[in-house]
Amino acid sequence: MTPSAPRDVAVVGFAHARHTESTFGTTNGVEMLAPVFAECYRQTGLDRTQIDFWCSGSSDYLAGRAFSFISAIDSIGATPSIVESHVEMDAAWALFEAWLKIASGQADTALVYGFGKASASTDLDTALALQLDPYTVAPLWPGRHHLAALQARAGIDAGLWSEQDMAAVAARATGRDQRELLAEPYVADPLRRHDCPPVTDGAAAIILASGDRARELCDTPAYIAGMEHIIDSAEFGARDLTDSPSTRAAAARVTGASGDRPDLGGVAVVELHTQYTHQELLLRRALGITGDVAVTPSGGSLLADPLFSAGLERIGYAANTVMEGRADRTLAHATSGHLLQQNLVCLLEGRTA
């Protein structure tokens, strides 16, 4: 029997919690998630009983408790029972799972959400170092900014970018004067405070729907034209830290490029999940982004970096640009792990009925 073709899947709703350095809520995210869900319901006209599949992204290490994602289900409601799944990473990867669920005909609607309360960690560097190689790197307990500084310095020494280029990225995101930024002291040479992400508590959610259902729920759905995620080596000495071949390969696949370079033809906006200024410069080169493409107009993780939902937010912002009629084609990127180790790329587009 010939298998049926995958069904169309589209983003029809997106919301996120207010970005803040600290919240008074619990680490299970319930207080942040409840109003975010309510906003998604308002946008689509759905209620919780009309969601076929739920999928979340978070981290028990960050929450400091086992099965924190189970406690987060309190924000959904106890009855009726639901079909639910979870990934221990950014919720962009939960969206990948939900996309497959709908594309394969196992659901018509899905709500994807992510949450993280970074302010609750007494030592964020130690918590995040648990993502590193457990034998050679994690026992050293390197700080996240210090690791990123190694990558930034490698690019500067290779002549790929400069501290002035990095400051220009921060100036565009924050609206501050570039000369003022360059006068700041180093946090981890060559990184200054503006080169690094702020500690942010946050949560975000996206509602997905199958093709026919999407047109009922949204005037201009943002259809997922392609999505792929690829992993680079976790061994920093085994890869070129000034490049991101996994991002480039994932983008080439989702854009249907004939070679190994992405085809960004028609893409008006690219939302990049880059926690450090030099990482935007790195991904611009890897993706071949030119000056006529708007890069991360939302401000990205330099303004707010809600762990385990920042990548999902990049997809949400890119989708909003399509749903609001400001662009016909957008690209979103999410990353997980230190120094752009794992990368996901999602292509979104508007379509006429």
Q: Please list the pLDDT of the chain residue by residue as tens digits (353 residues).
A: 445 678 999 999 999 999 999 887 778 889 999 999 999 999 999 999 999 999 999 998 888 888 888 889 999 998 889 999 999 999 999 999 999 999 999 999 999 999 999 998 889 999 999 999 999 999 999 999 999 999 999 999 999 999 999 999 999 999 999 999 999 999 999 999 999 999 999 999 999 999 989 999 999 999 999 999 999 998 999 999 999 999 999 999 999 998 889 999 999 999 999 999 999 999 999 999 988 999 999 999 999 999 999 999 999 999 999 999 999 999 999 999 999 999 999 999 999 76
CB 147, CB 339: distance < 8 Å: yes
Tell me if residue 188 falls in helix, strand or coil: strand
pTM: 0.96
159: left (phi over 0), alpha (psi -120 to 50) or beta: left
Residue count (the chain): 353
Look up tokens 């996901």; give the residue.
344
